[in-house]
Amino acid sequence: MPNKPFDSAHFLSEYWQKKPVVIRDFFDSFEDFAALTELQQLAQEPAVESRLVRCTEDLGYQLQQGPFMAVDLPSSQESGWTLLIQAAELWIPELQQLIEHFNFLPRWRIDDIMMSYAASGGGVGPHFDQYDVFLVHGAGQRRWRLGPKIAVDVASEALLTTDSGLRLLRKMEVEQEVTLTSGDVLYIPPGYAHWGVGVTPGFCYSVGFRAPSRAEMIEGFSDRLMVASTESNRFTDVDGLQVPDNSEITPAQWQNAWQSLHASLDDPQAFLLAFGCLVTAPKYPELIETLAEPVHAEELMRYRDQGIALVRNPASRLVFAVDTPAAEPVLFVDGETYPCTAKLVPGIRKLCAVSPEDTFEIADLWAQEAGQALLCKLVQEGALWLAEAED
């Protein structure tokens, strides 16, 4: 699945989070990662997040949530429907290859890949998302209507309808219309209206990006500050207290409280730790199973000597920060922090860069005792698995 030469610097300066763009033939020869029958089988699994959207002239768009019974799924001969599988890369490991083609962007920003199959006339209606997305097209043709950026903060009942279970635009101004096919990519920044409809049956792979809201960042930061605060951290009166009216909160009093709180908020290290935990919080924590018993270095040493490597749990999220306010590297895994030493950084870089499809050699972090302890902890927490021994 080679892609043609792509000027990522030009894309980032001209289009990223600015305006939509069609990238024709981004892939020279694109082969789909699964057949419709495989998607239908996944849609029947309770652990898989799946949706079915039907569209008829009488009822408009109608959303159904999975899991589904086989008899509930439409046949390939029917029209006007779309089947969507969220986080498809967890169930179709080969999809990890698709993520590698967007490595000019921070890996921690990537959320998941939603794989969809649209029959002729199928789609999910006119809408906008609050995150960046690359729509990679597989077999078949899909017609896209592109509209202006929606003022998200004022998007209300006047603009949206939720009767179908979907957040759809009541009306959509169409500024551009394009038909895309295998190997084409459509990039849509946050807030831009778009509407895709199947011309001929086929697949689309939505590579979506995480965009933490300000509310989420405030919540994570405040939670960390609250844990660090003690009972003795309380409001105290200023010297020379004056009480002109004992029912009034005076400017001196509330400003004193604000200054005390503001001093606690001025903690970049605490914010970094909260932010790292937020962006690595697993989307499907039920797929990360913690071992009942601790894993000891002696066990991993035996596996290493047997040629057994480690693989990443595809549901786990791993990122790191080296240049921190505390001048100490830190690894973030599934919403938890793991302080590191500078000597571990080369191994940490390899660990975070490795795809869940590939193996990580135990030796890359084994030279330091702290590295051994880290690997043992990550195996116990379910972020790393033991791979099969090579023949």
224 with 356, same domain?
Answer: no
262 with 304, same domain?
Answer: no
So what's the pLDDT on residue 362?
78
269 with 303, same domain?
Answer: no
| Mean pLDDT (whole number) for 118-127 | 96
131 with 17, same domain?
Answer: yes
Closest Cα partner for 328 from 315, 338, 336?
A: 338
269 with 289, same domain?
Answer: no
So what's the pLDDT on residue 391?
46
Decide if 242 is inside a domain: no
> 158-177, pLDDT tens digit by residue?
677 777 788 899 889 999 99
> 267-294, pLDDT tens digit by residue?
999 999 999 999 999 999 999 999 999 9
So what's the pLDDT on residue 186?
98
So what's the pLDDT on residue 160?
77
47 with 140, same domain?
Answer: yes
Q: Can you tell me which residue has the tokens 């021994």? A: 389
d(CA 201, CA 72): 19
In the chain, the number of structural domains is 3
26 with 77, same domain?
Answer: yes
Three-state DSSP class for residue 172: coil
> 62-115, pLDDT tens digit by residue?
999 999 999 999 998 999 999 999 999 999 999 999 999 999 999 999 999 999
Cis peptide before 67 (omega within 30 of 0): yes
d(CA 358, CA 97): 11
84 with 178, same domain?
Answer: yes
**pLDDT over threshold 80, residue 3:** no
CATH number of 60's domain: 2.60.120.650
| Mean pLDDT (whole number) for 185-213 | 96
Structural domain span for residue 299: 285-386
152 with 40, same domain?
Answer: yes
70 with 194, same domain?
Answer: yes
So what's the pLDDT on residue 207?
98
Decide if 391 is inside a domain: no
Strand order in the sheet with 384-386: 359-360, 310-312, 384-386
> What sign for the dihedral angle of Cα 316, 12, 146, 140?
negative
18 with 147, same domain?
Answer: yes
- pLDDT interval class at 189 (50, 70, 90): very high
Decide if 1 is inside a domain: no
So what's the pLDDT on residue 243?
81
296 with 196, same domain?
Answer: no
- pLDDT interval class at 1 (50, 70, 90): low
Closest Cα partner for 320 from 330, 311, 312?
A: 330
